Amino acid sequence: MWVKLFGFGLAGGVVLTSIAMAWLGGRWQKIESSAYAGEKRPLWFWLISLLVIGLYAVAMVSFVAGEKTWAGWLLMVVIPLGWLAKAAMVIFNPKGRSTVSAISGDKNWIAIAAARLPVALLLAALAWLA
């Protein structure tokens, strides 16, 4: 149950942030910059991060103790490794932060929002199959 909840939670988060990106367009840049451009991360960034990590930890305990599926392996092992790669390239890398901070304009953010939606579908499918 927790692995599915984790996967559906990720899918929902991707959908909600994609909707926000499309709706706000270029104004999304201010939110993105506050999370990645500065030396310090805002409180909301840490709270969301702790929530996701906490849900992941509970789901991982459930995953380890329960029946494992290929979809569960992808959700619980492969995707978190992708997060680590993203963290290395964007969050902890000044050049990556500046690249993300340089995205501007309504069209660019709407395109990014649309490009993320297939990821949400994939995450939902994995959660369903986990």
* Structural domain that includes position 125: 2-129
Could you tell me the pLDDT band of residue 38, with boundaries at 50, 70 and 90? low
Q: Residue 101: in which H helix or E strand, if any?
A: helix 94-101
Domain count, the chain: 1
Which pLDDT does position 4 carry in this prediction?
Answer: 96
pLDDT at 39 over 90: no
Query: What is the average pLDDT value for the chain, to the nearest integer?
Result: 90
DSSP state of 69: -
Task: Answer yes or no: are the C-beta atoms of 20 and 108 closer than 8 Å.
Answer: no
- Which residues are CB-contacts of 71 (< 8 A; sequence separation ≥ 6)? 7, 125, 126, 127, 128, 129, 130
Residue that wins the pLDDT comparison between 38 and 92 = 92
Q: Encoding tokens for residue 98?
A: 């500046």
- Averaged over 74-95, what is the pLDDT? 85
- Averaged over 64-86, what is the pLDDT? 92
- Averaged over 58-86, what is the pLDDT? 93
Which pLDDT does position 102 carry in this prediction?
Answer: 77
pLDDT digits (tens, 9 = 90+) for 10-36: 999 999 999 999 999 989 888 887 777
